[in-house]
Amino acid sequence: MSRWSVIGCLALGLSSTPARASGLPDDFVFLRDLDPSIRQDIRYAGFNNFVGRRLAGYDAAECIVKRPVGLALVRVQQDLKAQNLSLKMLDCYRPARASRDMVAWAQDGNETPAQKRYNPSFSKVDLFRLGYVAERSGHSTGAAVDLTLVDLRAGASAPFDPGKAYGNCIAPEAQRAPEASVDMGTGYDCSDVKAWTASRAINAAQRRWRGILLTAMRKQGVLNYAKEWWHFSMPGVGTTAYDFPIRR
pLDDT computed for residue 75 by the predictor: 98
pLDDT computed for residue 4 by the predictor: 44
pLDDT computed for residue 157 by the predictor: 84
Residue type, 221: G
In whole angstroms, what is the distance from residue 108 CA to residue 95 CA? 21
Is this prediction's pTM over 0.85? yes
pLDDT computed for residue 15 by the predictor: 42
pLDDT computed for residue 128 by the predictor: 73
What are the two backbone dihedrals, phi and then psi, of residue 206, each rounded to the nearest 5 degrees? -65, -40
In whole angstroms, what is the distance from residue 3 CA to residue 119 CA? 12
pLDDT computed for residue 121 by the predictor: 86
In whole angstroms, what is the distance from residue 130 CA to residue 38 CA? 33
In 3D space, the residue among 71, 210, 198, 66 whose CA is nearest the CA of residue 142 turns out to be 66
Secondary element (H or E) of residue 230: strand 228-233
Identify the structural domains of the chain with CATH numbers, from first to last: 16-242 (3.30.1380.10)
CB-based contacts of 231, cutoff 8 Å, min separation 6: 1, 2, 4, 7, 144, 145, 146, 224, 225
pLDDT computed for residue 14 by the predictor: 43
CB 73 within 8 A of CB 31: yes
- Tens-binned pLDDT, residue by residue, of the chain (248 aa): 454 443 333 333 344 444 443 389 989 999 999 999 999 999 999 999 999 999 999 999 999 999 999 999 999 999 999 999 999 999 999 999 999 999 888 888 788 888 889 999 888 878 777 777 777 789 999 999 999 999 999 988 889 998 899 999 999 999 999 999 999 999 999 999 999 999 999 999 999 999 999 999 999 999 999 999 999 999 999 889 999 999 98
CB 57 within 8 A of CB 98: yes
CB 141 within 8 A of CB 241: yes
In whole angstroms, what is the distance from residue 62 CA to residue 81 CA? 22
Q: What angle do CA 198, 222, 248 make, to 5 degrees?
A: 115
